[in-house]
Amino acid sequence: MINKRTNGGLSFIEVVIAFAITSVLVAATMPNFQDYAVRAKVIEGLEVTKSAQDALVKTCMADETAVVKSNRDAGYLYMPPASRDNFIEKVVLAADCSKKDLIVMVWVGNTGANPEPIIEMSAKVPSGVTVESFEEPYYWNCRIIRGDFSHVPSNCRTRYKKI
């Protein structure tokens, strides 16, 4: 009679196979996770630019003929947050208020992206809407100037086109 041992544990081969399958799954999903982590940092950094957008709008509402050639012209000074999680290297404002042309350029940094994204935020008045001065309704359009599409929010995934 053959004596069979019934051991409820796993064999070494089963453990190796399970480890191999897990390793393949992790390797397949890791790039997506890294893109997600960079995109989250870019989005967090873009939240800082809301004050720059507000400064441009206030400048144009105060003077409909103003031309903003520097941050100082709009009364804006970029101050990095006190935390070490600063994902914005530089913010540059420009505007021609009479044409309702407002632009916020954002250089993103410290996100782990290569190259770090440069994003343009521009104010747009919806088509079919006529306004005398720069006031509601308007929205901010976002597009990528430099960087990888997977590293920016979905609404910024339009590439800058030279005319």
Q: Tens of pLDDT along 82-105?
A: 666 788 888 999 999 888 889 999
Q: Is this structure's pTM higher than 0.85?
A: no
Cα separation of 85 and 59, whole Å?
A: 29
Task: Count, in order, helices (H) and strands (E) of the chain.
Answer: 2, 5
Res 29 pLDDT > 80: no
Per-residue pLDDT at 162: 43
Give residue-wise pLDDT tens across range 59-78.
988 888 899 999 999 999 88
The residue with tokens 């009364």 is 75
CB contact set of 158 (below 8 Å; sequence gap of 6+): 142, 143, 144
Q: Assess whether pLDDT exceeds 70 at residue 134.
A: no
User: Residue 9 has which token pair?
Assistant: 């544990």
The amino acid sitting at 8 is: G
- The Cα–Cα gap between 111 and 117 comes to 9
Q: How confident is the model at residue 2 (pLDDT cuts 50, 70, 90)?
A: low
Task: Give the list of residues 6+ apart from residue 89 with CB closer than 8 angstroms, or none.
Answer: 107, 108, 109, 110, 116
